[in-house]
Chain A
Amino acid sequence: MQDGGEWEHFPHGSDIGVRGYGHRLEEAFQGAATALTAIVADPQRVQPLKKVEISCGAPNIEVLFNDWLNALIFEMDTRRMLFSKFSVEIQEGHLTATAWGEGVDVQRHHPVVDLKGATFTELKVEEHKGRWLAQCVIDV
């Protein structure tokens, strides 16, 4: 499944929280990734023109979520890109994903702020009644 997922931001004293939801764990990860882009720019203005492959592994699912967001931040920072579509697969603590996006265009995207890193604050990955939630605070 490839999509931007269901997402929202939540407030933090000085920074901003990202939260993704989904019926599958992967969808929640995808939603949180869209929320990450939405800190910087409107994801709907970001065209999925170029794809980037991402892979990471961690000893538990929450650290894996943190790794996923930090991998995206690294790609955004070094490629000067924004992403709007994601496809995530998770198996036995290992994540493989494709993120689609385009280069930052200041005139069109009006980027607000750089992302420093995904934190362990309010970090939560959990399932409740068949619905997954993945969230943490992003330092900007």
Chain B
Amino acid sequence: MDLALIEKKSDYLWEIPPTASMHVPARIYASEDLIRAMDGKVYEQLVHVASLPGIVGAAYAMPDAHWGYGFPIGGVAAFDAAAGGVISAGGVGFDISCGVRLLKTGLHKDELLPHKEKFADLLFASIPAGVGSQSALRLSGAQMDAMLRGGARWAVDQGYGLKDDLERIEDHGCIAGAVPEEVSAKARERQRPEMGTLGSGNHYLEVQEISEIYDAPTATLWGLTPGEIVISIHCGSRGLGHQIGSEYLRLMVLEAEKYHIPLPDRELACAPVHSQIGQSYLGALRAASNCALANRQILTHFTRGAFQKLFSRRDLPLLFDVSHNTCKEEEHRIDGEVKNLFVHRKGATRAFGPGHPALPEIYQSSGQPVIIGGSMATGSFVLVGTKEGEGLSWSSACHGAGRAMSRTQSGQTWDGRSLMQELAARGILIRATSSQGVAEEAPGAYKDVTRVAEASDKAGLARKVVRLTPHICVKG
């Protein structure tokens, strides 16, 4: 991004002052290095988002921001429905409620090492992953409705996991206000063979080691100890979410004129929250979010099953489950007044700080865990939400490393098989259905997650707690 276009406010905050079309400024949280490397399209997309009706505060970009669809990936924007605010299908994205959860194993890395190859094979055999993969699970129409209403809560009721898991998931595992009737027959059909599947692309299941502690009191409070093995699961709402995203994007593009919303980019397609389409999308979006929560819960059950086969126990408690493609109705304070806002987080993680009423008791004193996924080789981070994040970014932080290179370029630069051998030599076992897929997800195709996490920390969005380094990665 061209630094001449933006104003430096501090070492980790940059601003695009409002132009004629912008209702609010745009703010980017990043170090100078990250800003220089950031795609120029992020600037253009932030300006567009800041020009949408009913936006409040500012249009925000997180340190991992890159070129997205209408909104930048790593973008956050809140809209006041009472002031004509909009909801945008593009602002949520195609993979509705894609997110990450982290399971604690209580296993030290020394206990994993003798069984590492076998555990990798077991996980790969237990987790349906890759193109065309299916689980044995098939839901009837009524079961699908119940899943879309109940989310992870439904999954736990069906025997996929524990009641204790639910308080460690955003919104206690169930998004209220889901309307399954707004989910099309096509979306349901896409989902039918895909419940309990990981997917492909950047989705993964990783066995990781807690390799560095930055915030010892919080790590201790959360039961995270150096050398402990944890398991991360990254995936979303699968075919159902993708279909809903496609259908509502089209609908909003075609109806934008009716609502007199100028769209400099069709991917910004949106509708007033209080319009018929806005309400219909909200109902479908919440149902798709529940689908994602249920899906991650089922995958957790499969993971516990694989763990039990090798280690004769399945007590893998959840640290937390975060979603990073969402639009949630939240209360935020603006100029001293509490308002109900529709907060879009596209490739951004909610990061509520200590004392936030939406957090479960266990995270009241610390703030919520914020899980940041890196690439296959560079590792991941767990951060904690801050109180100041509320005033900075509607309590939001980054979600991952962010791509630095296109899939096309990455696929041409690396050879998947050689890469897997190279990583195996470094102690990172990859189990994947496609070596070309591995090449497209090569660690070198991503930004340095360390710098992204560092920038989130320094900007005050969320504070680093621990670093995770990978041992096993299951890819679709």
Residues of A within 8 A of B (CB): 9-16, 40, 59, 63, 66-67, 70, 73-74, 77-78, 80, 104, 106, 110-114, 116-121, 123, 137, 139-140
With the chains together, A121 CA to B44 CA distance in Å? 13
Query: Please, which residue of chain A has its CB at the minimum distance from the CB of B199?
Result: A114
List residues of chain B with CB within 8 A of the CB of A70: 246, 250
B254 contacts partner chain A, Cβ-Cβ < 8 Å: yes
Find B407's partner among A14, A74, A78, A80 (CB 8 Å cutoff).
A14
With the chains together, A139 CA to B254 CA distance in Å? 20
List residues of chain B with CB within 8 A of the CB of A118: 246
With the chains together, A113 CA to B337 CA distance in Å? 46
Query: Please, which residue of chain B has its CB at the minimum distance from the CB of A62?
Result: B266
With the chains together, A61 CA to B132 CA distance in Å? 31
With the chains together, A123 CA to B69 CA distance in Å? 12
Query: Please, which residue of chain A has its CB at the minimum distance from the CB of B410?
Result: A11
Contact between chains at A112 and B436 (CB < 8 Å):
yes
List residues of chain B with CB within 8 A of the CB of A137: 69
Contact between chains at A113 and B267 (CB < 8 Å):
no
Contact between chains at B436 and A110 (CB < 8 Å):
yes
Contact between chains at B69 and A139 (CB < 8 Å):
yes
Partner-contacting stretch, out of B6-14, B237-245, B349-357 = B237-245
List residues of chain A with CB within 8 A of the CB of B437: 112-113
A45 to chain B, nearest CB (A): 13
List residues of chain A with CB within 8 A of the CB of B436: 110, 112
A84 to chain B, nearest CB (A): 16
Contact between chains at A116 and B242 (CB < 8 Å):
yes
With the chains together, A139 CA to B266 CA distance in Å? 15
List residues of chain B with CB within 8 A of the CB of A114: 131, 199-201, 476
- The 7 A-B residue pairs whose C-beta atoms are closest, nearest first, are A111-B131, A13-B67, A11-B406, A120-B266, A104-B132, A117-B246, A116-B242
Interface residues on B, range: 35 or more
Contact between chains at B190 and A78 (CB < 8 Å):
yes
With the chains together, A112 CA to B410 CA distance in Å? 13
B253 contacts partner chain A, Cβ-Cβ < 8 Å: yes
With the chains together, A106 CA to B131 CA distance in Å? 8
B403 contacts partner chain A, Cβ-Cβ < 8 Å: yes
Besides A11-B408, A110-B436, A140-B201, 4 other A-B contacts (C-beta < 8 A): A73-B242, A113-B440, A117-B94, A117-B246
In the complex, 20 of the A-B residue pairs with CB atoms within 8 angstroms, ordered by the A residue number, are A13-B67, A13-B403, A16-B408, A63-B254, A67-B250, A73-B242, A80-B132, A80-B193, A106-B433, A111-B132, A112-B131, A113-B201, A113-B434, A117-B245, A119-B69, A119-B267, A120-B69, A120-B253, A137-B69, A140-B200
B95 contacts partner chain A, Cβ-Cβ < 8 Å: yes
Contact between chains at B249 and A9 (CB < 8 Å):
no
Contact between chains at B407 and A140 (CB < 8 Å):
yes
Contact between chains at B433 and A111 (CB < 8 Å):
yes
B68 contacts partner chain A, Cβ-Cβ < 8 Å: yes
Find B131's partner among A104, A121, A123 (CB 8 Å cutoff).
A104
A102 to chain B, nearest CB (A): 12
B73 contacts partner chain A, Cβ-Cβ < 8 Å: yes
Find B435's partner among A9, A13, A14, A110 (CB 8 Å cutoff).
A110
With the chains together, A118 CA to B69 CA distance in Å? 11
Contact between chains at A112 and B266 (CB < 8 Å):
no
With the chains together, A119 CA to B66 CA distance in Å? 16
Given A111-B130, A119-B267, verify A12-B435 contact (CB < 8 Å): no
B409 contacts partner chain A, Cβ-Cβ < 8 Å: yes
List residues of chain B with CB within 8 A of the CB of A14: 66-68, 73, 403, 406-407
List residues of chain A with CB within 8 A of the CB of B66: 13-14
Contact between chains at A111 and B434 (CB < 8 Å):
yes
Which B residues between 199 and 232 are near A, CB-CB below 8 angstroms?
199-201
Interface-central residue, B94, B409, B476, by most chain A CB under 10 Å: B94
With the chains together, A11 CA to B413 CA distance in Å? 13
List residues of chain A with CB within 8 A of the CB of B266: 120, 123
